Structure 1
Amino acid sequence: MRRLPPLAAVRVFEAAGRHENFTNAAAELGMTQAAVSYQVRLLEERLGAPLFVREKGRARLSPLGARLLPTLTQALDSIDAAFAAHRVEDESLLTVATTFTFANTWLAWRLGAFQVEHPGIAVRLMTGNSITDLHGGEADIAIRAGAQPWEGLVCEPLMRIDFTPMCTPSFLAATEARLARKIEPADLLSLPMISPDDPWWGKWFDAAGVKHEGRRPVAGLRLDSQADEGHAAMGGQGVVLLTPEFWKNDMRDRRLVQIFPLTATAGFRYWLVYPEHRRKVPKIRHFREWLIGAIPGDHVP
């Protein structure tokens, strides 16, 4: 077990010893001269010997003080270097926790723009559907999906999560050729659905005015994330519910088509989440400003 003297007193002695002047030490440490004198006296009482020879306008180191000062200065420099290394690393690395879907269908496509604006900040993505402990330091900031804010955190709404059926152009063309007409919402009940047990299908059918109670979904793939579901749909596996904002590139390049203009919602949205006490941390502030500027026009104020 270490038998250390009060570290506050050690720090004050080291500054006073370097300057050999209590007034200058007080200015460096943001203390009063009286407080410096008090801390030095505490340390001298602990050691049972003087650390300074008091002279007019100067506090000259005693033999004991002169012997201790170089070692203590080196020790404090080492402590400062250890924390400085952490500060540099912390300021230059931003860890963002978010869902697999948001990361892969929206955020990863746009992060390059943030890096161009802030080349000194590297971004590490943590993806998953479990809740990250922001207070415990697992991540700096999170983008979460939910219906309500989380207690004890700053929660800024980003975008509503809406959804609508999509499929490949070839799947839609083949379906309409078989029907010999344009597809209608009720026709989806007899088509292969990706994640057919997803309760959001019921929300969309309700919005479309389609009776679906008691329906037996056509067998289809069951996947855990919208990102996987969208890629399965691009493989021609059936019809899938997707958020249009996440799949703009794929719709533009005709890998997917939105079958109907109607979108529905279950009341969920994406939120930007971070601890209140870290609101003014530069890397978090820069990312927040960039992200809100990059969110489309349906950003929720």
Structure 2
Amino acid sequence: MSSSLKRLAAHELQGEEEEDEYLFHESKKRRSSFMNAVREVMKAQSMQCLFRELEPFLRRVVREEVQKGLSHYVYSASRPLFTQIQASVAPRWRLSFKSKLPDTLFTGSRIESEDNKPVKIFIEDSNSGMPVTSGLLSSLRIEIVVLDGDFCGEEQEDWTEKEFGDSVVREREGKRPLLTGDLIVTLKAGVGIFGSVTFTDNSSWIRSRKFRLGARTLPGNYTEERIQEAISGTFFVKDHRGELYKKHHPPALHDDVWRLEKIGKDGAFHKRLSENGIMTVQEFLKSLVMDQNWLRSILG
């Protein structure tokens, strides 16, 4: 065979091989595309199956979350209304202080009324104001607490149990209990009388600088109905050392003359009066009656 024929045969053979290789690659590409398409279909079917499986679960989760959100919203929105309703429905019975407290009390001194008598508390009918003197309510056990002076303004007559509890004042950190002594009072015939109750700290450290006393029934009493708590008027509490300089209202005749208003202990008026033999309230009044001009000259 001539060399030209050999070259022609070789060229044809190479062409056939290239064509076979091209067909092989095309076939492989088609198979790959087909497999990819199959996988995509399988994946889509799997996702659809998965979604069908998850759909009830997802619906339940969404429903529960929506219900939770709505419940929280309804509770939050209705809570102020509930508090208003609770406050507007006055309890059938209430505790009440029948003793007026002084404008100023002192630490370490027994708490007494303005007229230096034991503090009394009553239980009474909220509507009629009639005292409850018999029955189970007339022998309730009462707890005495300290309240912030800002609690319950002069015009507010009703409050909720929570509002009362939130206004209870506790002792300062590192201090003794703010109120000590006989803090549990048992009513007898509807009347409770304070025993020895004293403050251990002054009232200068709270914003209002004043306290109130409060009284509430102890848990476990004979009725499930709420009995409205009692609150006293406001007062200052000062350290005991201030009592040494306290004025007396009214002053006794034998009191030192500086117990009178406008005459300070060891002040200028006190010294002038002492130098002229006026040591007591009685001597001051005697001079005022006998020789008012002389007394005026002493006081300047």
Query: What TM bracket, shorter-length normalisation?
Result: under 0.3
Q: TM-score, normalised by structure 1?
A: 0.24
Higher relative contact order (CA 8 A, sep 6+): 1
**Considering only CA atoms, is the larger Rg found in Structure 1 or Structure 2?**
2
Q: TM-score, normalised by structure 2?
A: 0.24
